[in-house]
Amino acid sequence: MRPEQLGQLVEEHSAALVLYARQWCADAEDIVQEALLKLVRQRPTPEPVLPWLYRVVRNAAVDQARAARRRRQHEQAASARASEWFVPTPGTRLDAEAATRALQGLPEEQREVLVARLWGGLTFEQAAELMGVSASAAHRHYHAGLTALRERLDAPCPNTTRS
């Protein structure tokens, strides 16, 4: 893989990959960086590259989450970084922090397929293969996640006071 291809991949997909990895672990940046370096070492370059990257990131993140769970630090680390999932952008309809909290409250399979589909740009088939479920199951999780998010984001957050 040429450096400019890698640079383009980092620019276009690294943020979504980090967001994807953050569902399981706190050191998402390191995991994505390692996955990208692993991709560079691959001969030949896997095709299609994006699902391959998501699979490597998922495996590493799940492994690290298991290790962190054993150390009982996973929840604390995840909550400490709750506000770092999205860039606060003025003018958007959704609040970044509220969306993060709403996503974090979803069941894992719903959150994973939403992130992979909405920000990762994967197809339902690719996301289903990542998760080890059928495409129809991935579709079902996606719809259920969206519905749950709509309910959570429409409801006023009990922790915030509106003026």
Partner 1 sequence: MSEHDPELTALEASLRALAPRPALDRDRIVYEAGRASVKPRGAWPHACGALTLLLLVSLGWHRLRPEPPAVERIVYVQVPVTPEQPLPSEPLDPLAIRSDQADYLHLRAGVLRGGVDVLPSGPLVETEGRPLTPAAALDYP
Residue pair 141/111 in contact by the 8 Å Cβ criterion: no
Q: Is 99 in the site for partner 1 (CB under 8 A)?
A: yes
Amino acid at 117: R
Smallest distance, partner 1 to C-beta of residue 72, A? 25
Q: Which of 49, 77, 78, 118 binds partner 1 (CB under 8 A)?
A: 118
Cα–Cα–Cα angle for 32, 34, 40, nearest 5°? 105
The residues in 7-46 that bind partner 1, with binding defined as CB under 8 A, are 7, 10-11, 14-16, 18-19, 28-29, 32-33, 36-37, 40-41
Site residue total, partner 1 (CB under 8 A): 39
Alpha helix (H) ranges present in 22-73?
28-41, 49-71
**Using CB under 8 A, which of the segments 49-57, 62-70, 72-80, 91-99 binds partner 1?**
91-99
52 touches partner 1 (CB under 8 A): no
CA 20, 26, 29, 35 dihedral sign is negative
- For the bound state, the minimum distance from the C-beta of residue 69 to partner 1, rounded and expressed in Å, comes to 22
* 3-class secondary structure, 58: helix
Q: Cα Rg for the chain, rounded, in angstroms?
A: 16
Q: Tokens 């709750």 label which residue? A: 82
Q: Would you say the C-alpha torsion 16, 17, 18, 23 has a positive or negative sign?
A: positive
| Residue ranges in 122-141 that form contacts with partner 1 under rule CB under 8 A | 139
Assess 86 for contact with partner 1 (CB under 8 A).
yes
- Using the rule CB under 8 A, is 114 a contact of partner 1? yes
Angle among Cα 7, 9, 11 to the nearest 5 degrees reads 70
Site residues (vs partner 1, CB under 8 A): 3, 6-7, 10-11, 14-16, 18-19, 28-29, 32-33, 36-37, 40-41, 84-87, 89, 92-94, 96, 99, 114, 118-119, 139, 142-143, 146-147, 149-150, 153
